[in-house]
């Protein structure tokens, strides 16, 4: 048997410590769910205890021979940087487990907005307000986190979403058949986003579809597939306005599924243009951690959910009083989950002349 080098010994020890640390965090979360307290501060104390044990073990290992430990240079700054990287990676791994199981972030959402894709397909985020979000693709089962300070303070930050489809999938969806939206001069109605149009509403670009610009070729059409026009004019609509002068964050969903009067010059705050889209394609849930929020006619809420175009948690017209006021105080976090449960998955894309693809088939498991 070959002799173990100092580098290999240190890496093995640190790997064992990281595994123990992640197990400790998961156990703390499990205890909080089943036998512990519902108080976030109690969970924080357990997490802190896990961190203290990990810190002491890590320092003892690295200080034994700092120059031999991968990633931890023989300097205090190098050791601290490596420790923080390993801690953050452990937190991400544990949080990913929680997101996959429950759709809720456990450890990392304070001061952050977590976007979790629980759909069977990849999704792309769009935003007219956030360059750090616009165009980002989140793989099926994966998540992306943004620090809340990256959102424009005291301004509405809108994030929209659309599924990512392949040429073959786009060929099978046939967005050119979403003719209920035409002609483009007629006001959009919720029925256009319901059966028999659910497949189109989930995967197709409505602005181009209404203009009769969808092509039968999945490779070149702007309505789906690799050439889809992600122009920020459509998609399930989440809005976050952080750090307002009164100390609140404001959060809301919006579908505009009950179109008000058309704009005529006398009603600028509660009107739409004939070509205004209804903002729904992907079911969504927003978890607001840090205590209940005052959500207008919805009452006190810690969660908003929208699984259909006419969902009751979303704005159905521009002045619908459903905005959530969340006292921030620096302890707020938000988890946006797309396709939050099995009942709110996207419609199956037809598999050619055969049976529809299952969720497992679409992510390559079955």
* 123 and 249, same domain (yes or no): yes
Q: pLDDT category, 354, cuts 50, 70, 90? A: very low
Q: pLDDT category, 221, cuts 50, 70, 90? A: very high
pLDDT at 355: 44
Q: Is residue 131 part of a domain?
A: yes
Q: Are 222 and 229 in contact (CB under 8 A)?
A: yes
Q: Is residue 107 part of a domain?
A: no
pLDDT at 240: 95
What is the secondary structure of 206-232 as a DSSP string? HHHHHTT---S-TTT-SSSGGG----S
* 309 and 214, same domain (yes or no): yes
* 118 and 86, same domain (yes or no): no
Percentage above 90 pLDDT, the chain: 45
Q: Is residue 23 part of a domain?
A: yes
Domain coverage including residue 268: 112-362
Q: Which residues contact 56 (CB under 8 A, 6 or more apart)?
A: none
Closest CA to 127 of 172, 100, 161: 161
* 122 and 248, same domain (yes or no): yes
Q: Is residue 32 part of a domain?
A: yes
> Distance (Å, rounded) from C-alpha 254 to C-alpha 316?
6
- Which residue in the block uniquely carries the two structure tokens 């307000």? 129
Mean pLDDT of 123-146: 91
Flag whether pLDDT at 288 surpasses 50.
Answer: yes
* 23 and 47, same domain (yes or no): yes
* 136 and 37, same domain (yes or no): no
Q: pLDDT category, 47, cuts 50, 70, 90? A: confident
Sign of CA dihedral 318, 255, 189, 178: positive
What is the secondary structure of 125-179 as a DSSP string? EE-SS-TTTTT-EE-TT-EEEEEGGGSPTTS-EEEEEEE---HHHHHHH-GGG-G
Q: What is the pTM of this model?
A: 0.75
Q: Is residue 81 part of a domain?
A: yes
- Which residue in the block uniquely carries the two structure tokens 């035409």? 182
Q: Is residue 321 part of a domain?
A: yes
Q: Give the residue with greater pLDDT, 56 vs 250.
A: 250
* 143 and 229, same domain (yes or no): yes
pLDDT at 363: 45
Q: Is residue 1 part of a domain?
A: no
> Distance (Å, rounded) from C-alpha 304 to C-alpha 314?
8
Q: pLDDT category, 360, cuts 50, 70, 90? A: very low
Residues in the chain, total:
366
List of E strands, 183-281: 237-241, 248-254
Mean pLDDT of 58-87: 71
Q: Are 332 and 249 in contact (CB under 8 A)?
A: yes
Two structure tokens written together for 125: 């985020």
Flag whether pLDDT at 2 surpasses 80.
Answer: no
Domain C-terminal end among 68, 102, 136: 102
Q: What is the mean pLDDT of the chain?
A: 84
Domain count along the chain: 2
Two structure tokens written together for 71: 């990633």
Domain C-terminal end among 102, 128, 157: 102
| DSSP label at residue 98 | H
* 70 and 172, same domain (yes or no): no
* 230-249 residue pLDDT tens: 999 999 999 999 988 888 99
Domain C-terminal end among 102, 132, 163: 102
Mean pLDDT of 216-238: 96
Q: pLDDT category, 270, cuts 50, 70, 90? A: confident
Mean pLDDT of 156-172: 96
* 207 and 269, same domain (yes or no): yes
Two structure tokens written together for 11: 């890496």
Flag whether pLDDT at 77 surpasses 70.
Answer: no
Q: Is residue 173 part of a domain?
A: yes
* 79 and 144, same domain (yes or no): no
- Which residue in the block uniquely carries the two structure tokens 């995967």? 203
Q: Give the residue with greater pLDDT, 106 vs 169.
A: 169
Strands 333-338 and 112-117: parallel
What is the secondary structure of 76-95 as a DSSP string? HHHHHHHHHHHHHHHHHHHH
* 78-98 residue pLDDT tens: 677 777 777 777 877 887 787
Flag whether pLDDT at 108 surpasses 80.
Answer: no
* 319 and 236, same domain (yes or no): yes
What is the secondary structure of 27-73 as a DSSP string? HHHHHHHHTS-S-HHHHHHHHHHHHHHHHHHHHHHHHHSGGGSTT--
* 321 and 289, same domain (yes or no): yes
Q: Give the residue with greater pLDDT, 129 vs 105.
A: 129
> Distance (Å, rounded) from C-alpha 230 to C-alpha 222?
9
CATH code, 135: 2.60.110.10
Mean pLDDT of 13-18: 86
Flag whether pLDDT at 184 surpasses 90.
Answer: no
């Amino acid at each position: 048997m070959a002799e173990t080098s100092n580098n290999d010994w240190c890496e093995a020890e640190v790997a064992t410590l990281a595994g123990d640390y992640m197990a400790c965090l998961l156990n703390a979360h499990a205890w909080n769910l089943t036998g512990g307290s519902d108080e976030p501060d109690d969970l924080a104390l357990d997490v802190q205890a896990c961190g203290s044990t990990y810190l002491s073990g890590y320092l003892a290992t690295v200080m034994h021979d700092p120059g031999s430990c991968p990633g931890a240079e023989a300097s205090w700054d190098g050791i601290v940087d490596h420790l923080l990287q390993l801690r953050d990676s452990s937190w991400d791994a544990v949080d990913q487990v929680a997101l996959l199981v429950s759709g809720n972030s456990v450890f990392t959402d304070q001061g952050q907005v977590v976007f979790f894709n629980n759909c069977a397909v990849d999704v792309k985020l769009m935003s007219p307000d956030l360059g750090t979000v616009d165009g980002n693709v989140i793989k099926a089962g994966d998540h992306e986190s943004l620090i809340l300070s990256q959102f424009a303070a005291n301004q509405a930050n809108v994030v929209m979403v659309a599924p990512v489809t392949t040429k073959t999938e786009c060929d099978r969806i046939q967005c050119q058949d979403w003719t209920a939206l035409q002609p483009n001069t007629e006001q959009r109605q919720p029925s256009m986003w319901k059966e028999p149009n659910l497949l189109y509403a989930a995967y197709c670009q409505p602005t181009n579809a209404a203009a009769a610009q969808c092509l039968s070729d999945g490779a070149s059409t702007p309505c789906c597939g690799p050439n889809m026009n992600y122009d920020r004019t459509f998609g399930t609509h989440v809005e976050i306005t952080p750090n307002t002068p009164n100390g609140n964050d404001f959060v809301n969903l919006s579908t505009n599924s009950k179109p008000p009067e058309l704009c005529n010059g006398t009603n600028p705050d509660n009107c739409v243009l004939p070509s205004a889209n209804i903002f729904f394609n992907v079911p969504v849930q927003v978890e607001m951690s840090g205590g209940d929020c005052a959500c207008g006619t919805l009452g006190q809420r810690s969660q908003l959910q929208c699984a259909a175009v006419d969902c009751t948690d979303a704005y159905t017209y521009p002045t619908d009083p459903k905005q959530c006021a969340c006292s921030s105080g620096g302890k707020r976090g938000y988890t946006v989950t797309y396709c939050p449960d099995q009942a709110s998955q996207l419609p199956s894309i037809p598999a050619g002349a055969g049976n529809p693809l299952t969720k497992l088939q679409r992510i390559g498991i079955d």
